[in-house]
Structure 1
Amino acid sequence: MLPATAAALAVLAALLAWPVPALLARARWPRRDPLVALVCWQAIGLAGGLSIIGALLVHGLAPWGHSLPEAAWSVLTGHPAEAPVRGDHWVALTLAGVLATELVGVLLLSWVRTTRTRRRHRELLELVVQPAELPDARLLEHPAPVAFCIPGARPLLVLSSGMVAELDDAQLAAVVAHERAHLREHHHLYLLPFVAWEAALPVLPAAARAHVAVRTLVEMRADDVALASLPGPAPRRTLAQAIVVAAGGAGGAGVPSGALAVTGSAVGARVVRLIEPPSPLPAWARAAALLSAGLLLLVPTALLLLPAAL
């Protein structure tokens, strides 16, 4: 029989693999506070991984102790098992090792591939871009209205000549502020775990759903940060107009792989959100969401460290 702790972790992993991501993806409140929603998504991903791997480890190591630290120490120091070791214990340990290796390996591989792709695109672009009038921006001769940034140790913010020609000064400043928000808050790091999750578990619908949701929230967060730095009487309308022009001219065409663009995701929803802004999330709701995210991380951690009920 499964230890109660392993069963609890398995149930939590099942909840975080499908119903919880599905509910959060359909919820309306994340658009009211994208940053809090991003924290919740990160907690779901991390807690889900801890839960499924932890459930397998707790069950597999159950014969060696009544808690994961105790059992792991017994195995490392060569102490004999306190109970018979059955085939299902070895199967659970093997699956835990395989799953942990896959998740961590795919995460590292995604990071290496993305970093390499961004470096290659940056090196190619640096050969053809010119200094733009706006600080920290580079101008690319391209007829379509395109704006994107390539994050990394040497970030690059690129505006096409078509974008400069299509937008007025206020709209162009809004686009640049959006891209700078991506770079300043390192939004590519929010996306990386979900790129890896989708690559590691392509048959899991929640993985693709989470990736799409996080991409949308990252763009909404960049919109919010940009708005805070924009002057003028109607910064929301200015940014919305700039997004519409960029989306209508080229969409995502001309944006290198691994870059973050102003037309990156959910253009229609973002424009509606800018023109008709939702009411801010109340302080108590923000606190409740952050507390829930913290509990999601605390529960599997506690279950892994506290003595197991056998």
Structure 2
Amino acid sequence: MLPLSAVLLGLLALALAWPVPAVLARARWPRRDPVAALVCWQAIGLAGGLSIIGALLVHGLSPWGGSLPEAWWTWAGHWVTGAQPAAPVRGDHWVAQTLAAVLALELLGVLVLSLVRTARTRARHRALLELIVDPVPGVDARVLESPVPAAFCIPGARPLLVLSSGMVAELAPGELAAVVAHERAHLTERHHLFLLPFVAWREALPVLPAAGRAHDAVRDLVEMRADDVALRAVPGARPRRTLARAIVAAAEGGAPRGALAAHGGVLTARVTRLLDPPAPLPRWGRPLAVGAAAALLLLPTTLLLVPALT
């Protein structure tokens, strides 16, 4: 018989693997407050991983104790001192332990691999670009000779913001300032770190629809957040229209792998949001979303630790 905590953790993992991400991805409120939505997505990813690995561990180690801390300590002692478990160890217990170890190593390994691979790719692109780009007069950016309008930034220890010569020639000064402010927002708020766990999740679990859905949703949200930050620095009486024109102008441009581009995300949704902005969340909206995210993280932690306290 499965321990109750393992059953509850498994149900939570199932909910966080499909219906919860599907509901959040289709919800309309995230575009009203991308920051709160990003916090919720991070909580879903962390709680989902903790739930599935925790469920497997609780069941796999159940012959060694009624709670995970006790079972873990007794299981470790079994390999050191030869202490025997309190209940018979069946094949499904060993399978659960193995699956928990494989899944944890896979998620952690893919995350580290994605971090290293992305950092190397960005370093390679940065080194190449620094040989062929020149400073933009009056703008804190570099210009790449290309007739195609493009704007992107390469984050990292030495961030690089690049505009194509086509973009500089096509945009008015206010629109150019809007593009630069958008890319600066990506760099200042380190949006690439928000994306990294979901890139790894998608690569580690490609058959899971929620992985791709979560990655796309977080990608769109960081672009919307960068739009919001950029609006504060856009000159003129109609900053939203100015930024929308700049985004559309950059739509034909590309960007190196690992870069964040001005045309990223769902372009239609971003332009619509700029020209017809949704009403902001009420004052209690963000605290409620952040509180729900915190509760979501505490739930699997509680299910893992409470049996040890009772």
Greater CA drift, 64-73 or 272-281: 64-73
Note the 1:183-198 alignment, pairs <5 A: 183-198=187-202
Contact in 2 for aligned 1:5/1:309 (Cα 8 Å): no
Q: Which amino acid aligns with 1:240?
A: A
Residue-by-residue CA offset, 1:142-181 (whole Å, 9 max, x unaligned): 1111000000010000011100000000000000000000
Q: Distance in 1 between matches of 2:139 and 2:242?
A: 20
Q: Which amino acid aligns with 1:181?
A: A
Shift of 1:3: 0.2
- The within-5 A match list for 1:284-299 is 284-299=284-299
Preserved contact between residue 70 and residue 308 of structure 2 (Cα < 8 Å): no
For the pair 1:307 / 2:307, whether they are aligned, the reply is yes
Distance between the aligned counterparts of 1:308 and 1:29, measured in 2?
39
In the superposition, the TM-score normalised over structure 2's length comes to 0.96
Distance in 2, Cα, partners of 1:16 & 1:308: 25
What is the deviation of 1:135? 4.3
Within 5 Å, give how 1:50-199 maps onto structure 2.
Answer: 50-78=50-78, 79-199=83-203
- What are the ranges of 5 or more consecutive residues in structure 1 without an aligned counterpart? none
Question: Separation in 1 of the partners of 2:236 and 2:76?
Answer: 64
Asked whether the equivalents of residues 25 and 217 of structure 2 are also in contact (C-alpha less than 8 Å), the reply is yes
User: Cα–Cα, structure 1 residues 83 and 309, in superposed 2: closer, same or farther, change >3 Å?
Assistant: farther
Shift of 1:31: 0.3
Distance in 1 (alpha carbons) for counterparts of 2:138 and 2:159: 15
Decide whether the 8 Å contact of 1:145 with 1:245 is kept in 2.
yes
> Does the Cα contact within 8 Å between 1:147 and 1:163 map onto a contact in 2?
yes
Q: Aligned partner of 1:176: which letter?
A: V
1:117 and 1:258 in contact (8 A); partners too: yes
Kindly provide the amino acid, as one letter, of the partner of residue 130 in structure 1: D
Identity between Structure 1 and Structure 2 (%): 71
Q: Does the CA contact (< 8 Å) of 2:133 and 2:143 recur in 1?
A: yes
> Larger deviation: 287-296 or 77-86?
77-86
Query: What residue is the counterpart of 1:33 in the other structure?
Result: 33
Could you tell me which runs of 5 or more consecutive residues in structure 2 were left unpaired when the two chains were aligned: none
Aligned AA for 1:15? A
Moved more, 129-138 or 165-174: 129-138
Residue among 226, 240, 244 paired with 1:240: 244
Q: Deviations over 1:234-290 (max 9, x none)?
A: 11111001011111xx24x3x101100000111111001000110001122222211
Task: Give the aligned CA root-mean-square deviation in angstroms.
Answer: 1.4
1:308 Cα deviation after fit: 6.5
Aligned match of 1:265? 265
TM-score by length of structure 1 reads 0.96
Task: Indicate if the aligned counterparts of 1:64 and 1:74 stay in contact, CA closer than 8 A.
Answer: yes
Aligned twin of 2:228:
224
Is 1:31–1:278's contact at 8 Å kept on the other side of the alignment? Answer: yes
Letter in 1 for 2:102: V
1:120 partner letter = R
User: Which letter maps to 1:262?
Assistant: A
- Alpha-carbon contact 1:36-1:286 (below 8 Å) kept: yes
Contact kept in structure 1, 2:175 and 2:242, CA below 8 Å: yes
CA contact (8 A) 1:6 1:54 kept: yes
**Superimposed CA distance per residue, residues 23-50 of structure 1 (whole angstroms, 9 cap, x where no aligned partner):** 0000000000001100000000000000
